[in-house]
Amino acid sequence: MLDLPKFKAAAVQASPVFLNVDATVDKACSIIAEAASNGASLVAFPEVFVAGYPYWNWIMTPVQGSKWYEKLYVNSITVPGPEVDRICKAAKEHNCHVVIGVNERGQSFGELYNTNLIIDNHGVVVGKHRKLVPTWAEKLTWTGGDGSSLKVYNTEIGPIGTLACGENTNTLARFALLAQGELIHIANYISLPV
């Protein structure tokens, strides 16, 4: 029988400061502090919390949406990078594991990924998962990831894996994580405006 630690998880139900990376990272750090003060050892954020979801892809033509894509690109982050450092500092300061969705700039101009970062309670990015196949209109914004990020990360609270949104319905992606001993699964979805 497995002897696993018990812990409290915080499922963040908040919206980013839309297309404002600095304000969104500040908000994420505040949420981490609040969750930790309420006993959370794991804080799970929505898909692409930093700094927003490209809603325009569903309601505008690609030409109409291009100005919004530019704003999203400017407010995306690099991994590693200064915004990630701030989130890692908050995770370490509050002794929390954090899984957070970000818009990650790739190495080529215009290359953007829907990425989940896995940060341990020591403030170290232990892994990142890039969404394998952007869903429908999301392909206008994000580059597809590859299977190299279908990994489980051993942490002090247990083995953590993550998938973004529609990937959670992909049986083979889920199996790849389960086969590696995943016990904690973060299935993050977009934060919809209400």
CATH at residue 183? 3.60.110.10
Whether 165 is catalytic = yes
Burial class of residue 73 in the structure, from the number of CB atoms within 10 Å of its CB (0-12 exposed, 13-18 middle, 19+ buried): middle
Asked if residue 160 is part of any domain, the answer here is yes
Q: Look at residue 193 in the predicted model and tell me its pLDDT.
A: 62
Asked if residue 2 is part of any domain, the answer here is no
Q: Where are the alpha helices (DSSP H) in 113-185?
A: 171-178
Q: Who's near 40: CB < 8 A, 6+ residues apart?
A: 7, 8, 9, 10, 96
The pair phi, psi for residue 25, each rounded to 5°, is: -65, -40
Asked if residue 3 is part of any domain, the answer here is no
Q: Look at residue 3 in the predicted model and tell me its pLDDT.
A: 80
Asked if residue 194 is part of any domain, the answer here is no
The single residue of 29, 88, 96, 165 carrying the catalytic annotation is 165
Asked if residue 193 is part of any domain, the answer here is no
**Residue 131, helix vs strand vs coil:** coil
Where in the sequence is the domain holding 69, given as residue range(s)? 9-188
Asked if residue 26 is part of any domain, the answer here is yes
pLDDT in tens, 105-122: 999 888 999 999 999 999
Whether 131 is catalytic = yes
Sign of CA dihedral 123, 50, 33, 8: negative
The single residue of 27, 29, 47, 88 carrying the catalytic annotation is 47
- How many structural domains are present in the chain? 1
Asked if residue 4 is part of any domain, the answer here is no
Q: Look at residue 141 in the predicted model and tell me its pLDDT.
A: 93
The single residue of 88, 96, 104, 131 carrying the catalytic annotation is 131
Whether 47 is catalytic = yes
Do strands 158-164 and 184-188 pair parallel, antiparallel, or not at all (unpaired)?
Answer: parallel
Q: What is the pTM of this model?
A: 0.95
Q: What residues of the chain score a pLDDT lower than 70? A: 1, 193-194
